[in-house]
Amino acid sequence: MAVNCGTSFGICALRVTKLDDLGNVAAGSNSYVTDKQISLAFTPNIAAGNSFSLRNGCGCSLSRFKAEDVFNWWDFTFTDGALEPSLTTLMVGGTTISEAGNVVGQHFPEALACDEFRPQVALEFWTQHIVGSAKDGALPYVHWVFPATNWQWSNNTAQEDFLNPVLTGFSRSNALWGSGPYADGPPDGSDVGTEGSYWKTADLPPAANCTTATVTPGS
């Protein structure tokens, strides 16, 4: 079967998994899947390499050299289409507010002391794999993984319009995610790597639910 070189379109589902301070899957209610997401921007943070130039006494160039640029991390902006306190609490910290057993809100996180652990989550999302004008028949989705990310609230506006919660974040290296705990990692059995991966897949995106779930390590 030939693999089509299609394009990535949209964002169909997004999943976060709570990690401990080392990058392992944390214990307890640790997973959340949403299909309310509007967009996720991810931009490589690059440190430009130093440039060097040597001229002679007449101003003519003798040598010039530019050191390699260095990848630092990924920067994210996540825009949600709903208020999902269970999701944002996993991502930024704080505690949830419940009524009759249902999570209805969130206490915002307080400033951390220097020795406190900042919440982090693995971030995954699924896009459609489009060939021509339709999803590819063999591998209809693209699975994207960033094995460790940190988040905070960004600029949000309440006005005569929908309030779409916005979070910003950045990635961290994580060698402990492996192929993930969900048995839907890279199809060749490899790990996703310390910075992340993506691959075309026939696996369906996970089903969304407006509550947290619990997953145990599977790799």
**Exposure string (b/e) for 170-197, b if CB count within 10 Å is 16 or more?**
bbbebebbbbbbbebbbeeeebbeebbb
Counts of helices then strands in the chain (DSSP H, E) = 1, 13
User: So what's the pLDDT on residue 1?
Assistant: 55
Amino acid of residue 19: L
Q: Are 31 and 213 in contact (CB under 8 A)?
A: yes
Asked if pLDDT for residue 113 goes beyond 90, the answer is no
How far, in Å, CA of 186 to CA of 164, rounded? 32
Average of per-residue pLDDT across 62-73: 97
Asked if pLDDT for residue 79 goes beyond 70, the answer is yes
H helices present in 25-127, as ranges? 85-92
pLDDT tens digits for range 3-18: 788 999 999 999 999 9
How many C-beta neighbours within 10 Å does residue 94 have? Answer: 17
Q: Kindly report whether the global pTM for this prediction surpasses the value 0.95.
A: no
